[in-house]
Chain A
Amino acid sequence: MDKRFSWVVLTVLAACTCKAFGGNPLTELAEEVKDKGWIVFSARSANGSWDLFVMRPDGSQRRQLTDTPQVEEAGPRYSPDGKRLLFRTMKRGTVLDHDQWGFAGSLTVADWDASNRRSLGSEGEFTWASWLPDGKQVVCLTLKGILVVDLATMEVVRRIDRQGIFQQLYCSPDGTALCGVGNYRGQTWTIMRVDMADGKVNEVNSLQSCTPDWFSDSRRVIYSCRPAGQRANRGYGWTQLWMADAAGGEQRLVYGEDGTHVYGGALSPDDRYVLFTRCEVDGGGAEKAGGSMHLMRLADAPTIRGRSTALRKLHPETKDGPVLTLPRGWEPHWTYAELEY
Chain B
Amino acid sequence: MGTMRLRWAVCGLVVVACAGGCRQRPADGADAEVVRRGSVEVTAELVEIPDKFPDIPMYDYAFVLKYRVLEVHRGEVAADVIYVGHYNPLKARAEAADARVREIGGDVKRIRAGDIHRMALEVPIDDYYMGGIINKYHGTAQGPIYWAVWTNRVVR
Interface residues, chain A, with chain B CB atoms under 8 Å away? 97, 99-100, 103, 143, 162, 164, 166-167, 183, 185-189, 282-283
Contact of B130 among A166, A187, A283 (CB under 8 A): A166
Number of A-B contacts (CB under 8 A): 38
Nearest-CB residue, chain A, relative to B63: A188
Interface assignment of B139: CB less than 8 Å from any CB of chain A: yes
Is there an interface contact between A143 and B127, defined as CB atoms closer than 8 Å? yes
User: What residues of A have a CB within 8 angstroms of the CB of B133 in the complex?
Assistant: 164, 183, 188
Interface assignment of B58: CB less than 8 Å from any CB of chain A: yes
Given contacts A164-B133, A166-B132, contact A100 B61 (CB under 8 A): no
Is there an interface contact between B127 and A183, defined as CB atoms closer than 8 Å? no
Which residues 100-117 in B have Cβ within 8 Å of A in the complex? 100
Nearest-CB residue, chain A, relative to B64: A186
Nearest-CB residue, chain B, relative to A142: B130
Is there an interface contact between B137 and A100, defined as CB atoms closer than 8 Å? no
Interface assignment of B136: CB less than 8 Å from any CB of chain A: yes
Nearest-CB residue, chain B, relative to A104: B99
User: What residues of B have a CB within 8 angstroms of the CB of A166 in the complex?
Assistant: 130-132
Interface of A is mostly: loop
Which residues 34-63 in B have Cβ within 8 Å of A in the complex? 58-61
Nearest-CB residue, chain B, relative to A103: B100
Interface of B is mostly: loop
Considering the chains assembled together, what is the distance between the CA atoms of A230 and B139 in angstroms?
28
Contact of B99 among A97, A164, A186 (CB under 8 A): A97
Given contacts A164-B126, A166-B130, contact A186 B136 (CB under 8 A): yes
Nearest-CB residue, chain B, relative to A186: B138
Considering the chains assembled together, what is the distance between the CA atoms of A183 and B134 in angstroms?
8
Closest Cβ of chain B: how far from A24's Cβ, in Å? 38
Nearest-CB residue, chain B, relative to A282: B58
A-B contact pairs, 30 of them (CB 8 A): A99-B59, A100-B99, A100-B100, A103-B100, A143-B127, A143-B128, A162-B126, A162-B130, A164-B126, A164-B133, A166-B130, A166-B131, A166-B132, A183-B132, A183-B133, A185-B138, A185-B139, A186-B134, A186-B136, A186-B137, A186-B138, A186-B139, A187-B138, A188-B132, A188-B133, A188-B134, A189-B59, A189-B132, A282-B58, A283-B58
Considering the chains assembled together, what is the distance between the CA atoms of A160 and B130 in angstroms?
15
Considering the chains assembled together, what is the distance between the CA atoms of A97 and B60 in angstroms?
11
Considering the chains assembled together, what is the distance between the CA atoms of A167 and B59 in angstroms?
13
Considering the chains assembled together, what is the distance between the CA atoms of A283 and B57 in angstroms?
11
Contact of A188 among B61, B99, B127, B137 (CB under 8 A): B61
Considering the chains assembled together, what is the distance between the CA atoms of A164 and B61 in angstroms?
13
Is there an interface contact between B135 and A186, defined as CB atoms closer than 8 Å? yes
Nearest-CB residue, chain A, relative to B127: A143
User: What residues of A have a CB within 8 angstroms of the CB of B61 in the complex?
Assistant: 188
Is there an interface contact between A143 and B132, defined as CB atoms closer than 8 Å? no
User: What residues of B have a CB within 8 angstroms of the CB of A99 in the complex?
Assistant: 59-60
User: What residues of A have a CB within 8 angstroms of the CB of B99 in the complex?
Assistant: 97, 100
4 A-B pairs with the lowest CB-CB distances in the bound complex, closest first: A186-B138, A188-B132, A183-B133, A186-B135
Considering the chains assembled together, what is the distance between the CA atoms of A197 and B75 in angstroms?
37
Considering the chains assembled together, what is the distance between the CA atoms of A143 and B125 in angstroms?
11
Closest Cβ of chain B: how far from A102's Cβ, in Å? 11
Nearest-CB residue, chain A, relative to B132: A188
Closest Cβ of chain A: how far from B90's Cβ, in Å? 15
Closest Cβ of chain B: how far from A143's Cβ, in Å? 5
Extra pairs beyond A97-B99, A183-B132, A189-B132 (8, CB < 8 Å):
A99-B60, A103-B100, A143-B127, A143-B128, A166-B131, A186-B136, A186-B138, A188-B133
Q: Which of B126, B127, B130, B133 has the most CB of A within 10 A?
A: B130
Considering the chains assembled together, what is the distance between the CA atoms of A275 and B133 in angstroms?
30
User: What residues of B have a CB within 8 angstroms of the CB of A186 in the complex?
Assistant: 134-139
User: What residues of A have a CB within 8 angstroms of the CB of B131 in the complex?
Assistant: 166-167
Considering the chains assembled together, what is the distance between the CA atoms of A97 and B101 in angstroms?
14
User: What residues of B have a CB within 8 angstroms of the CB of A183 in the complex?
Assistant: 132-133, 135
Considering the chains assembled together, what is the distance between the CA atoms of A283 and B132 in angstroms?
15
Considering the chains assembled together, what is the distance between the CA atoms of A183 and B63 in angstroms?
12
Closest Cβ of chain B: how far from A264's Cβ, in Å? 16
